[in-house]
Amino acid sequence: MTGVKFLATADWQLGMTAHFLPAEARDRYRQARIDAIRRIGEIAAAEGAQFVVVAGDVFESNQLDRTVVARALTAMGEMPVPVWLLPGNHDPLDAGSIYLSEEFERQRPGNVHVFTEPGLLEVADGVDVVAAPWFSKAPLSDLVNDAIAGVDPDATRVRIVVGHGADWTADSGDLKSVKVADVEAAAAAGRIDFCVLGDHHSRRQVAAHTWYPGTPEVTRHREQDPGHVLVVELGDGDPVVTTHDVGQWAFDVVEAELSSRADVDDLDARLTALPHPERRAVKLRLTGTLSLQDKARLDLRLEHHGNLFGSIEHWDRHTDVAVLPADGEVGDLGLTGWAKDAVDELAEAGRTEGAGGQAARDALGLLYRLSGGAA
């Protein structure tokens, strides 16, 4: 069998808009996804890869600003090897497909190719891809194994499956999901040699011959292992898969239980220690009870970090920090008359549950900061 080395990647989702990021960070994040293409090209050159396959969802959708497509194709054109793109569920080959547009074809560099038909296609000398493109957002069957079904064993050629979709589990009952056991049976029978799948955004080996490369740039906070590209070597013997890091951004979930100033300072130190804050989006899961002074200190430190990070925000469904004024804190504000009466009412309301109690606690914290109590 002819040996081959290639790069496997997926889920570029170019043009993705991260709505939780502020506008300035959003622009940098979109550019980072384009920059990842160039880093993949550099790895292909350094590793001596013969080609690159992108296993679906190259673009965020089929309706994108023309500048996204132009910049993406320019970056792909700089790659020193052929690049093969598979339409996925985000960018299927439907009537409005980006891949079928005159604009795409006019700007497409000569080294960029699209899998427009399922089944076998020669991509290098002695090397075939078994392609499984999506033609709609809701296929009715397992497209990957449908494409493999017509492939007979051929010991003289390398067969690489490139598909897209979640791996099937008995619990899901999703007929369009990829039945990895059937893929592995085809490998055992000598009909295919390797399978690259997109859709799962974290790097994951699901079987001996089947891998998800994951997205080269993180897209969600729940992803476990994004930011990679795979170098795959096939020949006699088992596949050899090597991971290269390409991601620049990180999405973090930071959890903390806060009950004292020391806890607030510890959280502050943890955030300060995170590298490259300008390329990080942080969701906070905070619980506990703080005094007015400690809550005001927390707000000040988070405001500081908010100026540094790409994004830092409370994960509302998982955040519940109560404010319970310590003895004398309300009196220390030095308020009299109707202002003191209003603060007393807020303090009382802040001891209750629900949205009203939270609003009262927030108001107390803001008043404490404005009065200079957080200095």
DSSP labels for 250-290? EEEEEEEEE-SHHHHHHHHHHHHHSS-GGGEEEEEEEEEEE
**Residue of 304, 305, 219 lying closest to 254 (CA atoms):** 305
What 3-state class would DSSP assign to 158?
Answer: strand
**Residue of 173, 181, 176 lying closest to 199 (CA atoms):** 176
The percent of residues above 90 in pLDDT, for the chain, comes to 71
194 touches 234 (CB < 8 A) = yes
pLDDT at 370 > cutoff 70: no
274 burial type by CB count under 10 A (0-12 exposed, 13-18 middle, 19+ buried): middle
Q: How far apart are CA 28 and CA 304, in angstroms?
A: 20
pLDDT band for position 149 (50/70/90)?
Answer: very high
Please name the amino acid found at residue 364.
Answer: L
| Beta-strand pair 280-290/250-258 | parallel
CA 156 to mean position of chain CA atoms: 38
Q: What is residue 373's DSSP assignment?
A: T
Q: Which two tokens stand for residue 184?
A: 């592995």
Question: What is the mean pLDDT of the segment spanning 161-190?
Answer: 88
pLDDT value at position 3?
Answer: 85
pLDDT at 146 > cutoff 70: yes
pLDDT tens digits along 202-222: 999 999 999 999 999 999 988
Q: Maximum distance among all alpha carbons in the chain?
A: 92
- The model's pTM is 0.86
**Residue of 20, 47, 19, 12 lying closest to 244 (CA atoms):** 47
Top-confidence residue, 258 or 327 = 258
Contacts of 366 (CB under 8 A, 6+ apart): none
Please name the amino acid found at residue 119.
Answer: G
Contacts of 105 (CB under 8 A, 6+ apart): none
21 touches 201 (CB < 8 A) = no
Top-confidence residue, 271 or 360 = 271
pLDDT value at position 266?
Answer: 97
pLDDT band for position 236 (50/70/90)?
Answer: confident
Q: What number of CA atoms fall less than 13 Å from residue 262's CA on the CB side?
A: 0
pLDDT value at position 163?
Answer: 97
| CA angle 172–177–179, rounded 5-degree value | 95
Contacts of 261 (CB under 8 A, 6+ apart): 293, 294, 297
Crossing angle between the packed helical segments 354-370 and 292-306, to the nearest 10 degrees: 80
Task: Quickly tell me which residue has 């023309």 as its tokens.
Answer: 66
Length of the chain counted residue by residue: 375
Question: What is the mean pLDDT of the segment spanning 180-208?
Answer: 96
144 touches 195 (CB < 8 A) = yes
Q: How far apart are CA 248 and CA 24, in angstroms?
A: 16
| CA angle 89–97–249, rounded 5-degree value | 55
Q: Which residues of 111-148 are buried (b: 16+ CB within 10 A; e: fewer)?
A: bbebbbebbbbebbeebbbbbbbbeeeebeebbbbebb
269 burial type by CB count under 10 A (0-12 exposed, 13-18 middle, 19+ buried): exposed
pLDDT tens digits along 331-353: 656 666 776 677 677 777 766 66
pLDDT tens digits along 7-52: 999 999 999 988 889 988 999 999 999 999 999 999 999 999 999 9
Task: Quickly tell me which residue has 């350094």 as its tokens.
Answer: 46
Q: Which domains are delineated in the chain? A: 4-245 (3.60.21.10), 250-370 (no CATH)
